[in-house]
Amino acid sequence: MKKVFTILCLTVIAMFAIQSSSKAQSYKNAIGGRFGASNGVTFKTSLGENKMLDIIANFRSNNNYNYFRATALYEVYQPISGARGLNWYYGGGASLGSVKYKPYNSSDLYLSVDGVLGLDYKFADAPINLSLDWKPAIQLAPDTDFDASGVGLSLRFTF
């Protein structure tokens, strides 16, 4: 049911995005999905010049645990010479969420400091944006740990 709801929401957003006018190589806002070690929803908005705020809500599940987390990232964009519409970016932020341990039926708060390094491409003739990034995190709670598994591909509709 969650997948059907997510697909329906993305379809509605796509219809609005296609109807709106988009600039050739830049965008103010973008919303879509993030796929990788964790799957979720991502929303980017411009903070002016070459800076953006990326808000990600994602989840991960396996036999031992479920977690949900919300991440906010401040990102700085730099164009790549000779590759129109392609930028590389870096930044940092934080995550807050919850972890449920299935074998013990217990829950904890999830807190981390996150970094991000990636590539961002905006199609010139379509309201579509692709990003490929690595989002490592220093987990502060419930345990102190380094999580380097944050590679993700994001597909967004721009408006």
> What digits encode the pLDDT tens for the residues 130-140?
999 999 999 99
Mean pLDDT in residue range 79-105: 95
The number of domains in the chain is: 1
120 belongs to a structural domain: yes
34 belongs to a structural domain: yes
Residue 115 token pair:
């970094």
19 belongs to a structural domain: no
3 belongs to a structural domain: no
Q: Side chain identity at 66, as an amino acid letter?
A: N
113 belongs to a structural domain: yes
Mean pLDDT in residue range 151-156: 98
40 belongs to a structural domain: yes
Q: What is the pTM of this model?
A: 0.80
At 38 the pLDDT is 85
Range of the domain at 142: 30-158
* Bigger pLDDT: 61 vs 13: 61
30-46 in b/e burial notation, b at 16+ Cβ within 10 A?
Answer: bbbbbebebebbbebee
Q: Answer left, alpha or beta for residue 74, where phi above 0 means left and psi between -120 and 50 means alpha.
A: beta
8 belongs to a structural domain: no
87 belongs to a structural domain: yes
Q: Which CATH number fits the domain that encloses residue 143?
A: 2.40.160.20
> What digits encode the pLDDT tens for the residues 50-91?
999 999 999 989 999 998 999 999 999 999 999 999 999 999
